[in-house]
Chain A
Amino acid sequence: QSVLTQPPSVSAAPGQKVTISCSGSNSDIGDNYVSWYQQVPGTAPKLLIYDNSKRPSGIPDRFSGSKSGTSATLGITGLQPGDEADYYCGTWDSILSAGVFGAGTKVTVL
């Protein structure tokens, strides 16, 4: 059972927007930065967002992140077929002194 809670799946038509929530607690999201990863099945994860809302070079601005209190959100606008993947949130738990991930959200482009 994952420490961080994500919806199992979200879907939308091409060009539309989806948001993925990530809910935690005071000791993880509430006390640390959140990062987001995209994983196409069969491949290694890729960093999409770090420090809650920053994008690494090469990540399009269609991807955005935010954090409020003990929750974080990933937004994807202008949805494309290539965005179909699993998305994970991750952070540090200050009490466990361990990294934690959400269970992942599958994005489907209708």
Chain B
Amino acid sequence: EVQLMESGGDLVQPGGSLRLSCVASGFTFGTSAMSWVRQGPGKGLEWVSGIISSGARTYYADSVKGRFSISRDNSKNTLYLQMNSLRAEDTAVYYCAKDRTTVTFDFWGQGTLVTVSS
């Protein structure tokens, strides 16, 4: 059974930093592209960032480019999202998702809540 378990969400002040983690199991993590997708309160889905299976290439939404960094440790079956210079508009539930193909997410985690507020 495929499982994706996010963690690291918290309340953080504007300008602060946070690192999210997503531990994967039930599939060959090292051969799967992965992404982060977020959903603000009462809002729709927003693709945040993606990374190919080797970690050699990464992609970002314009809204987070230069502030967020996606990475992975295939030896630990873990995906990360380092978030710096956080803003109120970054407040959202952050989902880790397995890419079947480009922007085709066949499995999702349960999400972790990030709240940016003073």
**Interface presence of A110 (CB below 8 A):** no
Known contacts A44-B109, A90-B47, A50 near B100 by CB under 8 Å: yes
CB under 8 Å from chain A, chain B span 34-64? 35, 37, 44-47, 50, 59-62
B interface footprint on A40-65 (CB within 8 Å = 1, 0 otherwise): 00001111001100001000000000
Helix, strand, loop or mixed for chain B's interface? strand
**A104:B60 contact, CB within 8 angstroms:** no
**B44:A92 contact, CB within 8 angstroms:** no
**B111:A99 contact, CB within 8 angstroms:** no
Helix, strand, loop or mixed for chain A's interface? strand
Interface size class of B (residues with CB under 8 A): 20 to 34
> Closest B-chain residue to A103, C-beta based?
B44
Q: Please, how many angstroms separate the alpha-carbon atoms of A97 and B46 in the complex?
A: 14
Q: Please, how many angstroms separate the alpha-carbon atoms of A102 and B105 in the complex?
A: 15
CB under 8 Å from chain A, chain B span 83-106? 95, 100-106
> Closest A-chain residue to B103, C-beta based?
A99
Q: Which of A18-26, A31-39, A74-82 contacts B (4 or more CB under 8 A)?
A: A31-39
Q: Please, how many angstroms separate the alpha-carbon atoms of A45 and B39 in the complex?
A: 10
> Closest B-chain residue to A43, C-beta based?
B110
Most buried by B among A35, A46, A51, A102: A35
Q: Contacts of B62 on A, CB cut-off 8 Å? A: 96, 98
Known contacts A44-B95, A96-B62, A101 near B45 by CB under 8 Å: yes
Known contacts A47-B104, A50-B104, A98 near B61 by CB under 8 Å: yes
Please name 17 pairs of A and B residues whose Cβ atoms are closer than 8 Å in the assembled complex, sorted by A: A32-B103, A33-B104, A44-B108, A45-B105, A50-B106, A92-B103, A98-B47, A98-B60, A98-B61, A98-B62, A99-B35, A99-B47, A99-B59, A99-B102, A101-B37, A101-B46, A104-B44
Name A residues whose Cβ lies closer than 8 Å to a Cβ of B: 2, 32-33, 35, 37, 39, 44-47, 50-51, 56, 86, 88, 90-92, 96-104
Name B residues whose Cβ lies closer than 8 Å to a Cβ of A: 35, 37, 44-47, 50, 59-62, 95, 100-106, 108-111
